[in-house]
Amino acid sequence: MTPDASLSPQTPDWVKDAVFYQIFPDRFARSGRVGGMNLQPWGEAPTFHKYMGGDLWGVLDKLDHIQSLGVTAIYFCPVFQSASNHRYHTHNYYEVDPMLGGNEALRALVDACHVRGLKVVLDGVFNHASRGFFQFNDLLEQGPDSAYRDWFHVEAWPLQPYDDTRPANYVSWWGNRALPKFNTGHPGVRDFLWDVAEHWIRFGIDGWRLDVPNEIDDDSFWQEFRRRVKGLNPDAYIVGEIWGDAGRWLQGDQFDAVMNYHFARSCLAFFGANMLDHPMNERSGVGRVESMNAETFAARMVEVTQMYHPEVVSVQLNLLDSHDTARYLSAVGGDRSAFRLATIFQFTYLGTPCIYYGDEIGLPGGPDPDCRRAFPWDEAQWDHDTLNLIRTLTAARHASRALQRGSFEVLHAQAEELVYARKHNSGAAYVAMNTAPEPRELPSRGVQPGRYRDVLSGQTVEVGENTTLPVPGRWAVVLVASD
């Protein structure tokens, strides 16, 4: 969809400079404050149903680590009461899961984050509820006499929420009878969900990530959602999970941005070109990814910058992986250089980078549930080179308006070589990337002559009219103006 030039979306300014960190609460950190439960040993192979017991108190305990990464915002997978370790089966939209520490823990966490200057974005699952959701439970108990009969899509009676040998007789998410789909055309449902959105904004959260929002195929629902959220906090961030063309929702009247899977797929295709684990990706959310050379990748990334209005592009959530995909490191066959190159690109490209918890220390993981492993807090297990790289990149990004808000201009793209500029009225930054295994001399054409600092090596680089840019194999240089 071509952006409508007559519309000018208003997006939260803080997101343009943010670095996000995504947390899957059950697997990040266990505080020990929530007891009396049957839990998996921490670090055991994850399953679809067992709990590791991570909680929000545990996140609070680890805020020093999160902040040390240069992170300025946290996006949490669902935290509301649910009978599932991922909590996409919502039981109560007004209560944080007791296993996570309840509303008390979220209150303490949000307050502590705000003191540190960290924003908090929660996951909103508004397309469907669960079999344990009170209103649906009333429907199961009362049948056609339920006060909530029209809150869901009933097709016949009786309902069969657990017997897979019989038709469920109600509409559910992708046929999963554990997830009854809301009838969002019903006034009671609409008011309920909008009130949930407003309730947690009043509580103090800084935005919503919306789960499968395209499956609420109703622009007016999301337009009112935005009106209410922005009415309480004009700077709230609304980001949708849309895997394809999201132009319909990004005209300025619904979402601010979407999770940028166009970005993720392209980074797999170029930086992981020769190492892609095709069977793994085909089982994962991203699907099959075909390799790209530098020319194709550069053209695609320019195209991605032009898909939506510039205000939207500047706040797109740029991710390499998530709880719905294999981790990038595993998707490229464990090649750490591919992940590091992709991370360098992620932090020097237009939009807002998002780190999936554990990626910073080299945590691997295949498709769900393996991509949801427990964070290993034993530092002996960490990839410290990757950790230091991410800290270096976040520091460079925070120090450079060009890396945060500059334009994206490709200067050279050939085979395994890519050079691009991030230009801002305060100055420019330049990135040269070499995905070949051997060192290369990359052309400096288009780079303003002068003295620069390579933020990755800390070395001073002099660029003249006819010089080249030496780049080690499977590495990059990121040039900012020398102090």
What 8-state DSSP symbol labels residue 91? Answer: E
Cβ neighbors of 388 (< 8 A, separation 6 or more) are none
CA-wise closest residue to 232 among 184, 188, 196, 258: 196
Q: Pseudo-torsion of CA 162, 163, 169, 171, nearest 10°?
A: 50
R_g (Cα) of the chain, nearest Å: 23
Name the residue with tokens 């591919």: 338
Report which secondary-structure segment, H or E, holds 452. strand 450-454
- 55, 123, 206, 211: the catalytic one is 211
Residue-wise over 320-355: b if at least 16 C-beta within 10 A, else e?
A: bbbbbbbbbbbbbeebebbbbbbbbbbbbbbbbbbb
241 catalytic per annotation: yes
Q: How far apart are CA 25 and CA 66, in angstroms?
A: 14
277 catalytic per annotation: no
What does the angle CA 159 – CA 164 – CA 169 come to, to the nearest 5 degrees? 25
- 123, 241, 277, 416: the catalytic one is 241
Q: How far apart are CA 6 and CA 167, in angstroms?
A: 48
Alpha carbon distances (Å) from 365 to 45, 83, 281, 295, 435:
10, 24, 12, 30, 23
Q: How far apart are CA 469 and CA 412, in angstroms?
A: 12
Q: How far apart are CA 255 and CA 281, in angstroms?
A: 28
Task: Give phi and psi for 17, each to the nearest 5.
Answer: -105, 5
Q: How far apart are CA 384 and CA 257, in angstroms?
A: 32
**Active-site residues: which are they?**
211, 241
